[in-house]
Structure formats: C-alpha cells, structure tokens
C-alpha cells in the first residue's frame, strides 16, 4: 500500500493547528492590550506564522500546556504576518518567539522552539 508522506505530514500539521486553535486564544493588534496587558492572569504569547515549521511543531505542546495550566497561565497566539504592529512593538525578529506577560509587563522570553520543558520553565516564571 502506497501513501503520500507529504499528504500525511500536512494532515498531521493541520490537525495540530486546529486542535491548538481550540485550546488557545488567537489575538490581534487590535485586542492585544485587552487580552494580554490588562489580563489578571499571566499570559504566554506565542508569536508565530503559518509557514514556520518550528511554530507548527510547538502547536501540540502549547495545546497540552494550555489545558494543564488553564487556571494559572493563559496561552495566546499572535500571527506575526497578520499583526505586524504588535510584533514590531515587542521586538520580535525571529519566530517562534514566546513572551510571558504578567501584570502588563514582559517577565520572560524565549526565541526558537523551546520544547515542552522550555515552555513550562517560561510559564513557571508567571507563578507566585
């Protein structure tokens, strides 16, 4: 039985993206301040793009962490291509970049694919 590996990989990536979209909140330049800066909970913002392979690799990990930490740290996604103002304001030059905000201020940042442990370590900075 022959199957198309590219098709299979595409399907897995799409499933990861769709699953992530359900567990996280997509934010924009317009609602960034309301959703992130004014939020009472710490917020981990995933600056990403649809064409970024490492961003897509992070998708299932961020979904899992979003569920595990839902009452402690929120995970939100910002597409850098669709929202250049916020990306520029926070100096995002490479993706993926994850930035942790607490009480309206940046308290941690990681550029590149962090893996589950790296994302968790960043999220723990938001704890009291």
Is there a catalytic annotation at residue 94? no
Of 44, 52, 58, 62, the catalytic one is 52
Domains plus CATH for the chain? 5-124 (3.40.30.10)
Contact 80, 93 (CB under 8 A): no
Is there a catalytic annotation at residue 55? yes
The 3 state secondary structure assigned to 24-74 is CEEECCCCHHHHHHCCCCCEEEEEECCCCHHHHHHHHHHHHHHHHCCCCCE
Of 20, 55, 95, 100, the catalytic one is 55
pTM of the model: 0.81
Neighbours of 24 (CB within 10 A): 20
- pLDDT tens for each residue of 17-73: 655 555 688 999 999 999 999 999 999 999 999 999 999 999 899 999 999 998 899
Contact 20, 62 (CB under 8 A): yes
pLDDT of 1: 47
Distance in angstroms (rounded) separating the CA atoms of residues 98 and 2: 39
Contact 17, 8 (CB under 8 A): no
- pLDDT tens for each residue of 65-124: 999 998 899 999 999 999 999 999 999 999 999 999 999 999 999 999 999 999 999 999
């Amino acid at each position: 039985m022959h199957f198309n590996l590219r098709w299979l990989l595409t399907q897995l990536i799409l499933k990861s993206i769709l699953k992530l979209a359900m567990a996280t909140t997509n934010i924009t330049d317009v609602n960034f301040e309301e959703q992130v800066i004014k939020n009472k909970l710490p917020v981990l913002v995933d600056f990403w793009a649809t064409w970024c392979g490492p961003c897509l690799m992070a998708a299932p990990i961020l979904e899992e962490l979003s569920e595990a930490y839902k009452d402690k740290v929120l995970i939100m996604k910002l597409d850098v291509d669709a929202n250049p103002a916020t990306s520029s304001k926070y100096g995002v030059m490479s993706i993926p970049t994850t930035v942790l905000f607490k009480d309206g201020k940046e308290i941690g940042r990681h550029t590149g694919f962090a893996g589950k442990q790296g994302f968790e370590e960043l999220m723990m900075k938001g704890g009291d």
